[in-house]
Every structure is written in structure tokens, then in C-alpha cells.
Structure 1
Amino acid sequence: MLTRDWVVPGYTELHRLGAGGFGEVVLARHEASGAFAAIKYLFGQHLGDPERLAAFRREAEMLSRVRSPHIARLHEFHEGPHGAAIVMEAIHGVSLREVLGRDGVLAPESALAVLKGSLLGLADAHRAGVVHRDYKPANVLVGPGRESKLVDFGVATLAGRAGLPVGTPPYMAPEQWRGAPASPATDVYAATCVFFQAITGRQPYVGTTTGELQDLHEHAPVPAHAAPAPVRGLITRGMAKDSGQRPSTAAEFVAELEAAAVAGYGPDWEQRGLGRLAQRAGALLALSPLALLGAGTAAAPGAASGLAAAGTGMGLGAKIGAALVAVAVGAGAVAGTVAVLGHTDTPPPVVAAPAVEQQTAMQVSLETRREAATGPAFHVDAQYVHVSGMRDQALQDRINAQLVKPLDDFTGYVRAGLADPTEDPAITGRAEFHRRTDRVLSVRYDLMAASSQFGNHGGYTTLWLDVDLRTGEPITPGDVFAGIADSQAAMSALESRILRMTPGGYCDGSPPLGERVPLAPRDLRPWGVLGTPALQLGFREDAVVFGVSTEARGYPMACGYQEVVVAYSDVADLMTPLGRELLS
């Protein structure tokens, strides 16, 4: 996999995500913590090129200025005689470009939700004095929690700084083409162009040459008429030819967006939009590198940014580049490999800083059980989660017994159900750990038996396991949400919040076979393979995952298992005191 002789110390590379004229991006694991990171390497042949090395430093310097939940975070910048690398937050997400490539257009509410998230990220960058200058669909990631994040600050600059034209032609503001000083309004223009594309299915201007595109962006009327009426005013404002007639900051544009969205699509526009966006991105997320590696918590910015080569090529889809002025981030060349710049925090550990001393050294890892068939048996090649390093060995053993139990139980289920053991089926499984704090570990298991001896749904199951790390006991839905184990009213109140995220029901808009059956306390009792209930809970950093067996809801068998993601803030008032403590 490696195309270099040098790797950032302390990381194990897992997957190459992409490459361009400047370098490549890889997905890596931080060896000390087990956390994932995206590492962007400058190709070795550019280490002797002062301009390209300065541009690479500049990207890290821009990232170091910005702290935002809506922007991929810088962990470290390394430079030495053997190489240069930017270590970034790894994000579990797919690019908006991929979503649009699959679906063509987004519902207005979803397009508005993406625009709002991006504008919030741009606003944080603008407050730090940074202008992105290359906002485009490839640089917006949509995550499993419905959030969007902005990546790739490869051509970012300080506000007010002029230079040669830099950017991606279909989204460049008129002043960008002229090399005028960059301003927050420059990013507002690009974000509006992308919003127009998301809501109409086409870029605002289409030209056969770069010169033709420049002329259209500088002189052609804003094509707001092609968009739905409620958002035409936003497009007209955001794409004004004169930067002084646009919102002066991304934060100002967010306020205008909120007003237009509520007026046009109702007060719940954002929840509906985010829910539909998550459904659109779900299948793509399942194929992302981290999902395929079983990590499930992050995907790398480079997967979406594509590392388009600055300064190479002038194709209409390519980035226009120019020699960048060096930004001083250190005195002269760096001897050896060191971390420099603003916030040199290493990637977050697999578990948060523990609240009790016994968990100080706790590590969480993925293990794989592999058993070859011996006689009339079956193959096993399945993952499970394991903790280590805890000072309380008895507690650690209880936790690990819970964590391996789904795989043990499924293996026993398959063994007991084989009518013909000579068929030699294979058991496979994938484990993903999602929320990892000092109190909670939330794991999703997907287990499958490759055998015709199990019916349509008898050969696989999806199971969420949430473990209290202070007691070693499983956390049940009734522990988290008040009354749902014995009160229909409490369960109905919870289901109303879930259905806000999936207004079409539990099967992507497909109706049930007859009247929809509401969730009830009985749905928390053993039901499916391994006795998994019809309603399961999983936990992410800022959201609850509700896993629903749709057959129990009256839907066709083909609908299968569905997940609905709901932000904690949307259900916090329904939680028990213990639930709020566990997830705080």
C-alpha cells in the first residue's frame, strides 16, 4: 500500500483513500489510543520545492487557526528531512458529491440543512480570519449523525489577502476570478452555488471552457428562477455579482436561511431535512473505508476531498491553482520529525478521560475470532470488541463477557439449528464501537450464517450492545427512557420523536401491510434471532440510534431492519436521570 519510505511515527496505516498531484491521504490508527486519523502526506518529490512545501505548511496553518465542530480538526503537523504530513480528525462521512452523484437532487429541506451546517463551519473559519476559497460538493462530508463537516483547506487564505485566481471554476465568485482579496462573502458565493446544484440537480453556470465559465460568473444573471420559490431570495443574495451585496459573513447568511426555511417549509424543516439526508447517505456510508474496516466511527477527510492537485490542469471540474506565498510557521527547516503549529492535540483516545482511577489505562480494541472447520463443523471469521488495561480485573472480565456474548450466542444458535452439519456453513461478523466514554461503551454487531438451512431472516441479525463500564452490566432502553418498559403513553411519546426523523415511516416511505402498528412496551421483550427486541438502542457521540425490526411494525419482510438517528437534544426530556448521567 505504501508509496513512501516514511510514515508518521505512532500510527499504523490501514487504507489508502486517494491521491493527487501534491500527495496522498491514508486512513490510520493511532497506536497508543486506537483512535483513527486521516493523514495527508506530501509526495517526497515535492519536499525540495519551496513553493509546494510552503503551500502544504499553509494548509496546516489555516487548520490550526480554526476550532469548530463543523470542520475537520487538525491534530498534528509533521515535517522533517524524510517527509511532511498533516494529521487530521477522521470523519465517518461521505461527500456531498457522492450523494448528489447517486441521487441527483436533494429535497429542499435537506439542501437547506447541508447549507446551514456548511455555513456554520465557514462562520467559525471566518471568525478565525480564514477564508476557505474552495467550497464545493467534494469538500462537504455528510455523516451518520446527519451532520455535515467541511474539509480541505488546501487553498485557504487569510481574509483580505489578494493573489492569483484559486478555486474550482463552477463555484468561484467573480472577485476570485480577478484575484481580488478574499473575504467571507467569497465563501458565501461558493456555498450558494453548491446549494443551487443540490436543489436543482445542475451547477448554476455551465460552460465549455474556463474563460466561458469566468464570463458567466462575472456577468450572467443569477439563475434563481430555476429553484423553488421559497429559496430564490437566498440564491439571489448569495450569488450577487458584487460581494458587497451578499451577506457579509456566513453567520449573517445563516440567519437569513433560517427565516426563509421556516417561512417556506415550516418550523420543523431542519429535522425533516436531516432525516432524509441521513437516509440518502446511509448506503454510501456502509461502504466507506472505516465501515468496511469495522471501525464505524470515522472516515477520513481525504476520501471526500480527493486531493485535487493545485496548480495542475485547468479542466472545468479541476481546481485552479497558483503558487502560494509562504506562511511562516517555524524558523527555517525542521530537523527531525516534530509536531508544530497551534493545537497539537493527538487524536482523541478510544475512551474519554476516565472518572475513576481503575479505568485510567483502559483500551478498547476489535478482535477477530477465526476458527477453521474441523469435521462436521463450520468456519468462523467474526469480530468482537474487547477491553484491556483496567485495574479492576473482575470488572474487566464482566465487561468482556458481555462484549463477546453476542458472538458466542450466535455461534451456539447456528450450531443448534444445523439440520445438515456437513454443509459446512460460515459464520461472519462485524463489530463497530460507536460511543466510548468512561461510563458507556456502545457496540453494534452484524452477524451472519452463510447457509441455506436458515430461512429468509434466520441467518443474520443486527444487535446493539450498550455496556455500563462501571458495573459491567448491559444498559437497557428502559434504563435510558422513563416509563417505556411498562407505559404505552411513554412509548408513544418516544415514538413521536423517532418519527420526526422518518416521516415516511420505518421503510423509506413504503407503507405497512395494513394499519401501522405503533411501538409498545412489548417491543422491548425478546423477539428475533438471539432474542433481540423489536426496538433496540445504540449510542453515538451526540445521538441515539433506534434500531427497528420493521416486521414487528407490520411492514413487509423486505423492509428488514431499519435505523433512525435522533439527536440527544431531541429526546433528553424523555430520559431517566440515569440515562442523562450515562450519556452526559
Structure 2
Amino acid sequence: MTETILPESFEKHLVDWATTARRENRHHLSKGYQGQVLLYRDEKYQLVVKVPPRWWPYSWLSARMLRHEARVYERLQHIDGIPRCYGLLNNRFLVLDFIEGDCLREASLRQREKFYETFLGIIRRMHARGVGHADLKRKDNILVTPNDQPYLIDFGVATLRRRGGWHPINNFLFNVARRFDLNAWVKHKYRRRLEDCSPRDQRYLHRTWMERSGRWIKRQYRRLTGTKMRNRSSGR
């Protein structure tokens, strides 16, 4: 199970705090279709609290996604590079450790090779646990700490591989998500200049049929509108 080590009295306090913060629109880290992300700080804790929006049907959909995300964190506990999760309080507030750092878009990497080797190791351990993130192309979902440690966040659309039995559709979706993750890693590492990709890293780049179809559609659209594609041998 997810490592829930918060005292029961503090859990109640945190639920009351999150309910008030959501109602009064305070303590926001971010806000989107999945709900609000709040930052809680005191002398002992620095926590991220993800809460669903107040209005139906978004609240219903977001609550389902948060329950799914909580199951993902259960699967990924004790992996370095994945924030520690304290569970889903009151069946609607997902509580995580706050990670100090910048998203990959804004970070200045001092040791790029080491960072990307660590990043790849997290992805491979995640896949070994049967989780495909599926949205690592978004740099906002990759945090970089001051010592260049990558952290993966936001598992709302992740795919959980089912254990035991025969699940062809689930296996297919997991394999697609796994390919998305590895393709994203290569594209981030080479800043989308995939013609510079080393032979060693080429093995991680295998576009899915969805990516190939999107590339073809984009090419046709730009051909018809007269918009030139950037000169990249293997861009999206």
C-alpha cells in the first residue's frame, strides 16, 4: 500500500485546510482541468495537495483521476525520482511530498549526461513496476532539483499494467505509453535534434503509429497551407 505515515489528527487538519484553501482560492501552485494543486507548509511538513474542482461534472472526473493516480503511486513507492505519496485523504485529496526544483523547461542542467542517465533509470524502473507515464513530452511533468535530480510527477493519465491473466488491450495501451516515455526521453535529451542522436540512444526511439500519423497529418497540413516544417530529420 501507499506509505501513509501522517498522524490521524494531522490528516484531519490537512483535509480541513485543503477544503478551506480550495473554497477561498488560496495556496495555489497550479490550477487546471484536473483540479487545483495546493502547497501546504508548516514547521514540519512541505506537502502538495491535489484537490478536485468544486463543480460537477469536473469534480467527478477529477476525483476518478486522483484515485487512479493514487493507485499509480502505490505501485511506484520507494523509487528515487518519484515523490513520496501519503495517500488519498477523505477519498478526494491526494497528498505528496513537495519537491523543491524547477520544471525541465526552466532548469539549467550542470551535468546533462548524468541527469539523463538518471532520468532514463527512473523510467526503466517505472516500467518494470508496470506503469507507463504517457505524458513525459510535457516538460512541466519533469522536475529538476538544485542538485540535478530528476523527479517525475503528474500521473493522471498513466497506464497501469494489469497483473496476472490475459489482458491484450491493457497490454497494448501499456506498451504504447512505454514507447511514448522513451521517445520523450530521447527528444528531451537531444532537444529534438534527433539527427544528433547517438547509436546507443537510437534504440530507445521507436515512434508509435499515433506519433507517425500525427507527423504525417502535420506535414500534409503544412504542405497545403504553405508552412515550412523545421529542418529536422526526425522531429515530431
* TM-score, normalised via structure 1 length: 0.28
Are 1:158 and 2:160 an aligned pair?
yes
Distance 1:27 1:50, change over 3 A: closer
Distance 1:17 1:10, change over 3 A: closer
Within 2, Cα distance between the matches of 1:119 and 1:79?
35
Are 1:8 and 2:15 an aligned pair?
yes
For residue 71 of structure 2, the aligned residue among 61, 74, 78 is 61
Within 2, Cα distance between the matches of 1:237 and 1:116?
14
Amino acid at match of 1:151: I
Instruction: Give, in angstroms, the shift of residue 49 of structure 1.
Output: 5.6
Q: 2:81 is matched with which residue?
A: 70
Within 2, Cα distance between the matches of 1:43 and 1:234?
44
Amino acid at match of 1:188: L
Within 1, Cα distance between the matches of 2:128 and 2:204?
19
Q: Which has the larger radius of gyration?
A: 1
Q: What are the ranges of 5 or more consecutive residues in structure 1 without an aligned counterpart? A: 1-5, 164-178, 198-202, 205-223, 244-315, 317-584
Q: 1:139 is matched with which residue?
A: 141
Within 1, Cα distance between the matches of 2:202 and 2:183?
10
Distance 1:138 1:49, change over 3 A: closer
Amino acid at match of 2:120: L
Q: What are the ranges of 5 or more consecutive residues in structure 2 without an aligned counterpart? A: 1-12, 210-217, 219-236
Q: 1:181 is matched with which residue?
A: 173
SS at match of 2:125: helix
Q: How does 1:307-318 map to 2 (within 5 A)?
A: none
Whether the 8 Å contact between 1:62 and 1:156 is mirrored in structure 2 is yes
Whether the 8 Å contact between 1:46 and 1:53 is mirrored in structure 2 is no
Amino acid at match of 1:87: V
Whether the 8 Å contact between 1:133 and 1:186 is mirrored in structure 2 is yes
Q: How does 1:235-314 map to 2 (within 5 A)?
A: 235-241=201-207
Distance 1:94 1:180, change over 3 A: same
Whether the 8 Å contact between 2:179 and 2:206 is mirrored in structure 1 is no
Instruction: Give, in angstroms, the shift of residue 17 of structure 1.
Output: 1.0
* TM-score, normalised via structure 2 length: 0.66
Instruction: Give, in angstroms, the shift of residue 69 of structure 1.
Output: 1.6
Within 2, Cα distance between the matches of 1:48 and 1:93?
29
For residue 17 of structure 1, the aligned residue among 29, 34, 39 is 29
SS at match of 1:144: coil
Q: Indicate the RMSD between aligned Cα atoms, in angstroms.
A: 3.3
Q: 1:35 is matched with which residue?
A: 45
Instruction: Give, in angstroms, the shift of residue 41 of structure 1.
Output: 1.1
Instruction: Give, in angstroms, the shift of residue 117 of structure 1.
Output: 2.1
Amino acid at match of 1:140: I
For residue 85 of structure 1, the aligned residue among 85, 90, 93 is 93
Whether the 8 Å contact between 2:179 and 2:208 is mirrored in structure 1 is no
Identity among equivalent pairs (%): 24
Distance 1:47 1:192, change over 3 A: same
SS at match of 2:173: coil
Q: 1:130 is matched with which residue?
A: 131
Whether the 8 Å contact between 2:159 and 2:173 is mirrored in structure 1 is no
Distance 1:27 1:48, change over 3 A: closer
Within 2, Cα distance between the matches of 1:40 and 1:56?
8
Whether the 8 Å contact between 1:141 and 1:150 is mirrored in structure 2 is yes
CA deviations on 1:56-82 (whole Å, 9 max, x unpaired) are: 2101111121121211121121235xx
Q: Where is the helix percentage greater, Structure 1 or Structure 2?
A: 2
SS at match of 2:182: helix
Instruction: Give, in angstroms, the shift of residue 180 of structure 1.
Output: 4.4
Within 1, Cα distance between the matches of 2:120 and 2:103?
16
Instruction: Give, in angstroms, the shift of residue 144 of structure 1.
Output: 1.7
Q: How does 1:442-461 map to 2 (within 5 A)?
A: none
Within 1, Cα distance between the matches of 2:187 and 2:15?
37
Within 1, Cα distance between the matches of 2:155 and 2:58?
22
Distance 1:130 1:9, change over 3 A: same
Whether the 8 Å contact between 2:83 and 2:153 is mirrored in structure 1 is yes
Amino acid at match of 1:237: R
Instruction: Give, in angstroms, the shift of residue 15 of structure 1.
Output: 3.1
CA deviations on 1:547-579 (whole Å, 9 max, x unpaired) are: xxxxxxxxxxxxxxxxxxxxxxxxxxxxxxxxx
SS at match of 2:203: helix
